[in-house]
Homo-oligomer: A and B are copies of this chain.
Amino acid sequence: MEAVKNAVHENATLWIARLAEAVAIPSVSGERERRPEVVRMGRWLVAHMQRLGFTDVVERDIGEQTVADGAAPLPLPPVVLGTYGTDPAKKTVLVYGHYDVQPAAKEDGWATDPFQLVEQADGRLVGRGASDDKGPLMGWLWAIEAHQKAGVALPVNLKCCFEGMEESGSEGLDALIAAEAQAGGYFDGVDAVCISDNYWLGTTKPCLTYGLRGVSYFNLTVRGPARDLHSGVFGGTVHEPMTDLVRLMSTLVDPQGKILVPGIYDTVAPVTDAERELYKTIEFSVGDINNATGSESALTSDKAQLLMGRWRNPSLSLHGIEGAFATPGSKTVIPAKVIGKFSIRTVPHQDPDEITRLVKAHVAAEFAKLESTNTIAVACDHAGKSWVADINHWNFTAAIKAVKTVFGVTPDLTREGGSIPVTLTFQEALNKNVLLLPMGRGDDGAHSTNEKLDRDNYLRGIELMATYLHEIAAASTA
């Protein structure tokens, strides 16, 4: 590994030049006119994979995107698949990354052209996609190339799954994963999965991520009059939908963040002593939350409570109301139909169907109390399940050892409050352990202006990937 490590760091200039090349391809999947750039970025990866000796490299067509506004359907960018090694004596690791990026424009407040990588004196590599997710995705390729330069054989078989629609809902990916996970499919024979598409919790200490919350998004519709009414003419004579809706929304969550839907906490996995132990060493404080929000809005100053609130307890947020007056100024309208939007972040072992049942029952019971002539409808707009991995699995043990070797510290074991749906898709389709291995820092500004990846995170990230693969190879699967 020493030779591989040296090859990683000796070729720093090369890896950075390659990142600059990739950043210069504005592969914004969310912009129709830039869809060809996404395809071009996929081709760029294919060329490198072929050069490195990947076999079975394919740009898998996953069909067309249905476009809402009646325009012609747009072809989806291909999913790039590749295989590096097929030695049955070695373990096979599936790695996932995405080669599309968020939109970006200088006018949004970027200090420099977002599609031109700039290496700052402080080591920041600034450019759209540097951290999300071009740097981490390419890290796997350069880890292989470093092995080749060092004359060291890769100790595992690697399969890659690189998509070009992650920033636009990963359309078409689930079907591909489900199909390729079948016996004889592309992913058949995979022993573990590693996804590098998230971030350290903070800016100094590496982490491994083993859990994500799910989300169930609800629309609560209250209807009454057939049309919007003038409050001068009708105020005081009719049951107003807004009055009912605000009343109902106020019964969902209390100001301390406690969800008020009966039964909602019943299936939440209890905190074990081992889990409680994990929180003790995590590098985090209430100051991190307050810095991130630019306020003193934190619900508590207790570190563990705060992190559990973020990662492993459900939460309910009220997002807004559709159909009511929502712009500056004043309008004396009684809206006829209003839709309250809220979502519940769910955790193991909450079941989305059960969550929907509980929400509907609660809203119906509260609405009955109002004695209103209006009508309500509650719909779960979409639901994604939570995910949690077994951190005692050899996949995690290998990654923990690799972090210790490269960074000299034991990584924090973290979860995230949001969702990365592909994680659960892989786990459910393959029934294999999935690990989230972040490369960048918490302040990389992934979807924001001046996105960056620190030079040190990039280089030691490549080294970490290489080291992880060696630890995987060495791990006992017993």
Q: Which of B319, B332, B381 contacts A335 (CB 8 A)?
A: B319
Decide if A100 is an interface residue (CB 8 Å cutoff). Answer: no
Whether A293 lies near B226 (C-beta < 8 A) is yes
CA distance A217 to B371 in the complex (A): 27
From 284 to 341 in chain A, residues with beta carbon under 8 angstroms from any chain B beta carbon are: 289, 292-299, 306, 309-310, 313-322, 324-328, 330-335, 341
Closest to A308 in B: B236
Query: Which listed residue, B229, B236, B295, B345, touches A236 by the CB 8 Å rule?
Result: B345
Residues of B within 8 A of A416 (CB): 232-233
- CA distance in complex: A294, B325 (Å): 21
- Return the chain B residue nearest A232 by Cβ: B418
| Set of chain B residues within 8 Å of A246, measured between Cβ atoms | 246, 249-250, 318
Contacts of A373 in B (CB 8 A): 295-298
Q: Known contacts being A237-B310, A332-B317, is A224 close to B297, with CB within 8 Å?
A: yes
For A319, list chain B residues within 8 Å (CB). 231, 242, 324-325, 330-335
Does any Cβ of B come within 8 Å of A70's Cβ? no
Stretch in contact with the other chain, from A39-47, A251-259, A400-408, A424-432: A251-259
* Interface flag for A475 (CB, 8 Å): no
Q: How far is the CB of A460 from chain B (nearest CB, A)?
A: 25
Convert A208-239 into 0s and 1s, putting 1 for each residue whose CB lies closer than 8 angstroms to a CB of B: 00000101010100001111011111111111
Contacts of A238 in B (CB 8 A): 289, 293, 295, 297-299
Closest to A229 in B: B293
Give the size category of A's interface with B. 35 or more
A215 → chain B closest CB, angstroms: 7
A372, B315: Cα distance in complex, Å: 17
Q: In the assembly, what is the distance between CA of A373 and CA of B296, in Å?
A: 7
Closest to A370 in B: B255
Give the distance to chain B from A263, nearest Cβ to Cβ, in Å.
Answer: 18
A286 to B, closest residue via Cβ:
B237
Contact, CB under 8 Å: B236 / A417: yes
A residues engaging B (CB < 8 A)?
A: 213, 215, 217, 219, 224-227, 229-240, 242-244, 246-247, 249-250, 253-257, 289, 292-299, 306, 309-310, 313-322, 324-328, 330-335, 341, 343, 345, 370-374, 381-382, 416-419
